[in-house]
Amino acid sequence: MNLLDPELIIAFLTLAALEIVLGIDNIIFLSIMAAKLPLHQQAKARTIGLAGAMLTRIALLVSLNWIAKLTADLFTVFGMGFSGRDLILFGGGLFLIWKAGKEIVDMLRGALHAPGSTAGAVGVSFVGVIVQIMILDIVFSLDSVITAIGMTSNLPVMIAAIVSAVIAMMFFSGPLSRFVDDNPTVKMLALAFLVLIGGVLIAEGLDLHISKAYVYFAMGFSVAVEILNLRLRKRLAAAGH
């Protein structure tokens, strides 16, 4: 295998970029879950969570035959076939909506404590957070792995792209987590994104295809509006209003 082959380089760069984009929802969920732990455990939780995501993706890649079987219908309901992939996406979407909805209710009730305080970690265990992250990792991994398989059949290139993307996500997860945790309105927006993504997963599980371009455009537009709101609040605070 020629490592300087232009086709391999293009495939690697494209896949790495796609893995990062498809991993945005993963980072948001990971950041919010890790923030529930004491400050000294948060970085460790993010690292283990992303490392687990990387291992999950690689394990799925080397199980191509199993992934191929996931797309075969297991049973039919009212003329609609359901495959293993459909069930995983549907279940993952329900879990994500329930988890994000619970977090939103907790925020509205004022149940969340100060960021990084041990009091905020009451009833939350390190292992419990990692397990929840790993459950969603499996769901989030499916689409990215299927995308990778569709773009190239070169397994080393796919693995290298996934590893590179996860390393990049590890680099950005810390600053993103701190930013989300320091800004309650941004955290609420991130939770709303997770509800949206959960809805998309459920729709995909029901074979209702929703273009990711629309979802990412809506998310990007919402982020732009929130950035303007943050700047406005800072200027008003500086002016004494």
On the question of pLDDT at 101 being above 80, the answer is yes
- Does residue 135 sit within a domain? yes
When pLDDT is averaged across residues 15-39 and rounded to a whole number, the result is 76
Q: Tell me whether residue 39 is in a domain.
A: yes
* 170 pLDDT tier (thresholds 50, 70, 90): confident
Q: 201-237: per-residue pLDDT in tens?
A: 888 888 888 877 788 788 889 888 988 988 888 888 8
Q: Which residue has the tokens 């996860």?
A: 166
- Domain carrying residue 150: 6-81+96-179
> Is 23 inside a domain boundary?
yes
pTM (predicted TM-score): 0.70
Residue 52 domain-assigned?
yes
Give the model confidence (pLDDT) of 180-195 as tens digits: 777 788 888 888 888 8
User: Would you state the pLDDT for residue 133?
Assistant: 78
Q: Identify the pLDDT of residue 230.
A: 87
The tens digit of pLDDT for each residue in 104-145 reads 888 888 754 444 444 444 556 788 888 877 777 777 776 666
Decide if pLDDT at 152 tops 80. Answer: no
pLDDT given at position 24: 72
Say what the pLDDT of residue 29 is. 78
Q: Count of domains in the chain?
A: 1
Instruction: Specify if 68 maps to a domain.
Output: yes
- Specify the pLDDT at position 67: 65
CB atoms within 10 A of CB 65: 7
CB atoms within 10 A of CB 149: 16
In a domain, 141, yes or no: yes
- Whether 72 is in a domain gets the answer yes
Round to whole Å and give the CA distance between 173 and 3: 30
Task: Tell me: pLDDT of 165 over 50.
Answer: yes
Q: Is residue 199 part of a domain?
A: no
Helical spans, DSSP H, in the chain: 6-22, 24-34, 39-61, 64-70, 84-108, 126-151, 155-182, 184-205, 212-238
